[in-house]
Amino acid sequence: MDAHDTEVMPSTLIAPEANGDGHVASVHNLYKSFGSFQVMNGLSLDFKPRAITTILGPSGTGKSVLLKHMVGLLEPDSGTVNVFGQDIWGIAERERAQLRKRFGVLFQDGALFGSMNVYDNVAFPLRKHTDKSESEIREIVTYRLKEVGLEAAEKKAPNEISGGMKKRAGFARALVMNPEIVLFDEPDSGLDPVRTSLLNDVILKIHEEDRGTYVVVTHDIRTAKKVSDYVGLIWQGRVVYYGPAEEAFSSSDPFVRQFLAGDSVGPLGMD
Ligand SMILES: Nc1ncnc2c1ncn2[C@@H]1O[C@H](COP(=O)(O)OP(=O)(O)OP(=O)(O)O)[C@@H](O)[C@H]1O
Ligand SMILES: [Mg+2]
């Protein structure tokens, strides 16, 4: 058990080791193709520690693929992924697996196990990756379920709860290991504007308490406006814009203007 596993309450998050340049996560010159299809095209991005960075970009442009590289599920053809000061593909699989435990990931569809109730879904990472007792697990799971407003739903199966509740359950599960980096793949997809707004409130509230490094992939401009400290716009496997949120939303950059306006005319094309 490492020091991180002994943490119980999230308010005592360990300060993440930063890279030499002060970042806890950075991707440099990432290239990746699937067959002849080039998805990552020299993408570089330094994620500011303890901030919420929103990743925007058209469908199929490589946002989910980027997150999979960051968490070590996909290996780059070339380029580097650095987290907590380590090149994650320059270390052994065993060490990479240890690093993965310091990530929380909220997948695009919540990715709950259909055969387990909400409680067991949220408890799953703790049972799998730690040797905590069931009473310690109950303390953490209850805390996290309460935080996302799901304490009354713990016995429900995923097919008995709404889309918004599934996302919140996925979020609670992503948080139980007290991750220093949390990756959200479209936390708002499939939610109505009110549920999106409520989920964004939960994200902001928990970020305020835990101060993790959050990366939020979204198509929803309102989400981006509400939660972002920094905004990156990705197109064709490359970062075409990156900046602090207040600059991004008033930027005259043609990529940003077109994406924010949802305009068909501009530098962002279909391919
Ligand atoms: N494992 C894989 N094998 C082959 N192609 C893949 C694989 N994963 C992703 N792709 C392709 O890479 C491209 C980028 O996919 P990605 O899922 O990153 O898009 P995205 O930006 O997340 O899109 P969306 O906004 O629709 O979720 C797509 O064309 C996709 O089909
Ligand atoms: Mg995606």
Residue 263, pLDDT score: 74
How many angstroms is it from 64 CA to the middle of ligand 1? 6
Residues 41-71 have pLDDT tens digits of 999 999 999 999 999 998 889 999 999 999 8
Half-sphere exposure of 59 (CA within 13 A, CB side): 4
Residues 249-264 have pLDDT tens digits of 888 888 888 888 777 7
Helices (H), the chain: 63-70, 93-100, 118-129, 134-147, 163-175, 193-210, 221-227, 245-248, 254-261
Best of 32, 43, 54, 65 for a ligand 1 pocket test (most atoms within 8 Å of beta carbon): 65
Residue 190, pLDDT score: 77
Residues 29-44 have pLDDT tens digits of 999 999 999 999 999 9
Q: What's the one-letter identity of residue 141?
A: V
Residues 78-133 have pLDDT tens digits of 999 999 889 999 999 999 988 888 889 987 766 789 899 999 999 999 999 899 99
Q: Which residues line ligand 1 (CB under 6 A)?
A: 34, 39, 57, 59-65
Query: Would you report the helix, strand and coil content of the chain in percent, each value rounded to 5?
Result: 40, 25, 40
Q: Is residue 198 part of a domain?
A: no
Cβ neighbours, 10 Å, residue 133: 9
Query: What is the chain's mean pLDDT, rounded?
Result: 86
Residue whose CA is closest, atom 9 of ligand 1? 65
Structural domain count, the chain = 1
Q: What's the one-letter identity of residue 96?
A: R
Look up the domain containing 46 and give its range: 19-64+71-102+182-188+213-263
Q: Is residue 230 part of a domain?
A: yes
Q: Is residue 49 part of a domain?
A: yes
How many angstroms is it from 14 CA to the middle of ligand 1? 33
Q: Is residue 152 part of a domain?
A: no
The CATH number linked to 246 is 3.40.50.300
Q: Is residue 109 part of a domain?
A: no
What span, in angstroms and rounded, lies between the C-alpha atoms of 20 and 190? Answer: 39
Q: Is residue 114 part of a domain?
A: no
Q: Is residue 35 part of a domain?
A: yes
3-state secondary structure of 30: strand
Q: Is residue 5 part of a domain?
A: no
Residues 205-250 have pLDDT tens digits of 989 988 899 999 998 888 999 999 999 999 989 999 999 999 998 8
What span, in angstroms and rounded, lies between the C-alpha atoms of 96 and 105? Answer: 15
